[in-house]
Every structure is written in structure tokens, then in C-alpha cells.
């Protein structure tokens, strides 16, 4: 058993989201409010807030003002579509699906060089039609999940 432990620890194995070989000069990040092409008021700001929360929880990079950060994380909600998923009777929807398409980019503040980019971020969730509270809860979940995905992709990239 100790041999297995030695092998696992010695080979650089780590749990998802715990490893990071960020370049030593990257210590701080600024997370900009997202460009928002959706019709949901404040959704871009919610995503940016959730990303900031992920960085605070992760502890590998400190948040900083834009003019002091080593890197800048920007993003854009490309689309947020709502589609009817199931119907009770003709034209009376029971379930909707929200489909989010987004992109994000991490750039060096020093020289503007792109350090990491994902142009095809995607999330989808289903909720009961007619329930604004369910829709808002799903939007919050999508923002949280997208933030977590972006954080882990950046940390695992290095």
C-alpha cells in the first residue's frame, strides 16, 4: 500500500482543481464584468461575481484592481436561448431549456498576450415553465457552474 501511495504522490498526481503550475509572475487577476448579449438583466454581472468567488475560494490567485492585476479575465455571453422542451397541450409548455453559449479569455496586462481562451463554453439547464423563481434559480446555477468550469480550466491549463 505504501508503494502505491509513493507512486501516486511521486508522479505529480493531484485532484481536479488542486493543481496549478501558473507562471510565477501571475499572482493577481482582475475579473471584468462580462459583455452580455442575453435579455436577462444583470446576468453578465452575476457570472463575473461567481468567477470572482471561485478565485477567492481557490486561493491560488488574488483578486486585484484592473490597473494592478497581472492578468485580466474577460468574457462574453454569446447567447442565452430559451426553448420549449415538453408540452401539456398544443402550445402550452410545461418545461423549458435554457442554453448558454459563452467565451472567456485570460490576457496578460503587461503585453496583452492571450494566456488562456475558451471560445465555446456551453451550459444547459431545464426548468418548469411559468415559474420565474425556478428560472432565476437556474440562471444562478448556470452562472455558478460556468464560473467553476472556467476556474478549473484555467488552473488545469498550466
**Cell digits for 118?**
475558451
Q: Is 41 a domain residue?
A: yes
Query: Looking at residue 135, what is its pLDDT?
Result: 85
Q: Is 11 a domain residue?
A: no
75 lies in which domain range? 19-157
Q: Is 10 a domain residue?
A: no
Q: What percent of the chain stands above pLDDT 90? A: 66
Among 32, 58, 38, residue whose Cα is nearest residue 102: 38
Per-residue pLDDT tens digits for 78-107: 999 988 776 555 555 578 899 999 999 999
Cα→Cα distances 152→20, 37, 55, 156, Å: 10, 24, 10, 6
Most confident of the following: 2-11, 45-54, 92-101: 45-54
**Average pLDDT of the segment spanning 26-31:** 98
125: domain CATH number is: 3.30.160.150
Q: Is 126 a domain residue?
A: yes
In the block, residue with C-alpha cell 487577476: 29
Q: How many domains does the chain have?
A: 1
**Listed range (18-22, 29-33, 80-84, 89-93) with the worst mean pLDDT:** 89-93
Query: Looking at residue 89, what is its pLDDT?
Result: 59
Q: Is 5 a domain residue?
A: no
Cα→Cα distances 141→66, 85, 125, 134, Å: 27, 19, 9, 10
**Average pLDDT of the segment spanning 26-39:** 95
Amino acid at each position: 500500500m505504501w508503494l502505491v501511495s509513493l507512486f501516486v504522490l511521486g508522479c505529480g498526481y493531484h485532484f481536479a482543481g488542486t493543481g496549478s503550475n501558473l507562471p510565477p509572475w501571475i499572482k493577481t487577476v482582475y475579473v471584468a464584468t462580462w459583455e452580455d448579449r442575453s435579455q436577462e438583466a444583470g446576468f453578465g454581472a452575476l457570472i463575473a461575481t461567481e468567477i470572482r468567488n471561485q478565485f477567492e475560494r481557490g486561493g491560488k490567485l488574488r483578486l486585484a484592481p484592473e490597473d494592478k492585476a497581472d492578468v485580466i479575465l474577460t468574457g462574453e455571453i454569446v447567447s442565452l436561448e430559451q426553448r420549449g422542451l415538453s408540452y401539456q397541450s398544443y402550445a402550452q409548455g410545461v418545461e423549458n431549456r435554457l442554453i448558454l453559449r459563452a467565451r472567456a479569455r485570460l490576457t496578460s496586462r503587461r503585453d496583452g498576450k492571450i494566456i488562456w481562451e475558451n471560445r465555446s463554453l456551453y451550459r444547459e439547464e431545464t426548468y418548469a415553465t411559468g415559474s420565474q423563481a425556478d428560472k432565476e434559480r437556474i440562471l444562478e446555477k448556470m452562472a455558478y457552474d460556468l464560473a467553476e468550469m472556467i476556474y478549473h480550466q484555467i488552473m488545469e491549463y498550466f
